[in-house]
Amino acid sequence: MWLKKFLNKIIDFVYPRKCYLCNKIIIKPDEFLCDYCSKNLKINTKIRVLNHQNNIICISPFEYFGNIRNSIRRFKFHNYKYYSEFFAKIIASELQKINIKNFDYICYVPLTKSRQNIRGFNQAELLAKDISKILHIPCLNALRKIKNTKTQHELKLSERTVNVLGAFDINSDVNIQNKNILLCDDITTSGNTLLECVKILLNHNANSVTCCTIARSRN
């Protein structure tokens, strides 16, 4: 035990932990945030209705701007995979506060194999697995992406639905009949990616699908 603590101190000295939001060195190495960001962190959870007909909602604790945007970009594009635990704890806490329903499975928006190989991981999958650990709900690899798509935020709103149309399918060995699903992704903009995944899940007889993301676009 003492050796592990000693080695951890050496690692913290050589590679000091940095604040997940402002990226400044943290004095307390076991914390996620520096004192300033911890005191000023504003969680502003919104429940957005993505589809009124099927009552599909998306729960997001943050808006995608400022330090939250920078943090998500480090998580997503710069291999800061360990950020997932921080974001998952906040999402899980907000879900427990809302207490909207009991979920049978937690699923996630998939990447194509080629995109995941380039990035090395799927941030939505990491997020779903960490939420799964916190809420003690099984994480299910339910969906696969079968078509390469353009990045949604680079497209006009009118182009986003067409871009993701037919991009996803269910994995052949998955049975979600009459199950309540929590679907995870990192950011929601127009909501079209989430809705395309929701459509696949409902078409395979899921009872309900609720979406969650770290942040929502301000547009």
Q: State yes or no: pLDDT of 1 exceeds 80.
A: no
Which is more confidently placed, 6 or 128?
Answer: 128
Q: Which run of H or of E encompasses 143?
A: strand 143-145
Instruction: For residue range 131-141, list pLDDT tens digits in order.
Output: 999 999 999 99
Compute the chain's Rg from CA coordinates: 18
Beta-bridged to residue 47, according to DSSP, are 59
Domains in the chain (CATH in brackets) are 1-40 (no CATH), 42-149+157-216 (3.40.50.2020)
Q: State yes or no: pLDDT of 211 exceeds 60.
A: yes
Instruction: For residue range 36-70, list pLDDT tens digits in order.
Output: 999 999 999 999 999 988 889 999 999 999 999 99
pLDDT, mean over the chain? 89
Confidence band (pLDDT; 50, 70, 90) for 191? very high
Average pLDDT of the segment spanning 192-218: 96
Structure tokens at 200: 């696949």
Report the share of the chain in percent with pLDDT over 70. Answer: 89
Low-confidence winner among 48-57, 76-85, 104-113, 157-166 (lowest mean pLDDT): 157-166
Confidence band (pLDDT; 50, 70, 90) for 182? very high
Taking the C-alpha atoms of residue 176 and residue 168, their distance in angstroms, rounded to an integer, is 16
Taking the C-alpha atoms of residue 124 and residue 110, their distance in angstroms, rounded to an integer, is 7
Q: State yes or no: pLDDT of 156 exceeds 80.
A: no
Instruction: For residue range 4-46, list pLDDT tens digits in order.
Output: 444 445 445 556 789 999 999 987 767 899 999 999 999 999 9
Low-confidence winner among 68-72, 101-105, 193-197, 206-210 (lowest mean pLDDT): 101-105
Long-range CB contacts (< 8 A, 24+ apart) of 135-140? 135/92, 135/95, 135/96, 135/103, 135/106, 137/103, 137/104, 137/105, 137/106, 137/182, 138/104, 138/105, 138/106, 139/105, 139/106, 139/107, 139/108, 140/105, 140/106, 140/107, 140/174, 140/176
Residue found by looking up tokens 């993701």 in the block: 164
* Predicted pLDDT at 18: 92
* Predicted pLDDT at 68: 97
Strands 180-188 vs 105-108: parallel, antiparallel or unpaired: parallel
**What DSSP line would sit under 195-210, residue for residue?**
HHHHHHHHHTT-SEEE
